[in-house]
Amino acid sequence: MIKKIFPAFGTINTVTLFGGCNSSILDKIKQTILEMHNCFSFFSPDSEIYKINQNAGIHPVAVSEDTFYLLSLALEYAKETKGKFDVTVGSISELWKNAIRSGTLPTEEEIKYCQTQCGIKNLELDKVHGTAFLHKKGVKLDLGGIVKGYAADKARSILQEQGIEDAQINFGGTVIAMGKMQKIGIQNPFQKTGTTMVSIALKDKAIVTSGSYEQCFFHQGKRFHHIIDPQTGKPSCSGLLSISLIGDKAVTLDVLATGICCLGQEDGIPILHKHGISAVFVTDNGSVQVTPELQEQISFYGSIMYF
């Protein structure tokens, strides 16, 4: 077994190869992912996303095929999730990230102002010229809810091109199990990091978990977290504490995990059925609900409901 660990996208990324493999492929994956990080960064002045944000309301920006593709997907999924997944929420996300860091609630005025700086309708893509344009000044793109899944899929493609079958890709909890059967643990949202609530046996599948327990703070006994509902400008209150999705494409799982965390379980299930995606839901009251096709793959200590 050989492993490469490196930071990107604000998290720790690990690629593990099982069996006799050439370790140089891991260097290629790291280089590719770091290039993607530089392209999609919200903060780096050299990134395409930063340049689009800086030129909002001014002029379109020429972008790479990767960026154009990701933004096209974002438009698609914004529609499918009824606006709950929205990459133009950079301003409101920034507001709440600062709130979590400081432990201080933003004011209603700050929230309302940031809401005026959001809206997927402001994003225009020109396929002929390969450009992206934000129509309104102050609107900011943030690809945090889609980029890890896309990067994980890209890493898998590189491994497949080299004929590597047995591997695991873990980009900050966005996991792809390649080849042999692997047990993947799902964090218990009520326990310290690293405590598994559920483990699922996966082979040639991706799994993505999104949870409101990951980044949060308490104010006057109420918990405020980092998954923001674009339509309220506040942390989502859909009744879901975490959602884990299992399917073929990590980028689809990444997007829908974020969107359905805001949309809620009832409205999210038809979307999952459409894409052939399995799910593990943990509700705010601690109940665990699992789609029935996972019944033979899942190990869990406690009560569990299949639906």
Q: Specify whether the CB–CB gap between 139 and 56 falls below 8 A.
A: yes
Identify the pLDDT of residue 178: 97
Number of domains in the chain: 2
CATH number at residue 223: 3.10.520.10
Based on the domain organization, do 180 and 288 belong to the same domain? Answer: yes
pLDDT at 121: 95
Taking alpha carbons only, the member of 261, 181, 272, 167 closest to residue 214 is 261
Q: Is residue 12 part of a domain?
A: no
Which residues make beta-bridge pairs with 125?
Answer: 132
Are 286 and 301 within 8 A, CB to CB? no
- Give yes or no: residues 235 and 111 share one domain: no
**Which amino acid is present at 159?**
L
CA 286 to the chain's CA centroid: 22
Are the CB atoms for 282 and 240 separated by under 8 Å? Answer: yes
Q: Is residue 157 part of a domain?
A: no
State residue 105's pLDDT score: 85
In sequence order, the β-bridge partners of residue 184 are: 200
Give the pTM: 0.91
For residue 283, give its domain range: 173-306
- Has residue 214 been placed in a domain? yes
Question: Which residues make Cβ contacts (< 8 Å) with residue 26, sequence separation at least 6?
Answer: 2, 3, 4, 15, 17
pLDDT at residue 246, as a whole number? 98
187 and 121 within one domain: no
The residues, ordered by sequence, that sit 6+ positions from 196 with a Cβ below 8 Å of its Cβ are 185, 186, 187, 188
CATH number at residue 98: 1.10.3980.10
In a domain, 92, yes or no: yes
Q: What is the pLDDT of residue 170?
A: 97
- Output the pLDDT for position 98: 86
- 165 within some domain: no
Residue 205: inside a domain:
yes
Indicate the burial class of 102 (C-beta count within 10 angstroms; 0-12, 13-18, 19 or more). exposed
Same domain as 102, residue 191: no
Same domain, 190 and 301: yes
Q: Check residue 97 and give its pLDDT.
A: 84
Task: Check: CB of residue 278 under 8 Å from CB of residue 247.
Answer: yes
Cα 221 from Cα 171, distance rounded (Å) = 33
Q: Check whether residue 69 and residue 187 sit in a common domain.
A: no
Identity of residue 202? L
Residues 222, 122, single domain; the answer is no
Tens-binned pLDDT, residue by residue, of the chain (307 aa): 899 999 999 899 999 999 767 789 999 999 999 999 999 999 999 999 999 999 999 999 999 999 999 999 999 999 999 999 999 999 998 898 888 788 888 899 999 999 999 999 999 999 999 999 999 999 999 999 999 999 999 999 999 999 999 999 999 989 999 999 999 998 887 777 777 888 999 999 999 998 766 665 565 666 555 788 888 988 888 888 889 999 999 999 999 999 998 899 999 999 999 999 999 998 888 888 899 899 888 887 555 555 5
* Burial tier of 109 (Cβ tally within 10 Å: 0-12, 13-18, 19+): exposed
Residue 65 lies in a domain: yes
Residue with tokens 């609900």, as numbered in its chain: 289
Task: Say yes or no: 199 and 85 in one domain.
Answer: no
* Structure tokens, 162: 């080299």
The whole-angstrom separation of Cα 189 and Cα 193 is 8
Inside any domain, residue 142 = no
**Spatial CA neighbour of 34 closest among 175, 154, 165:** 154
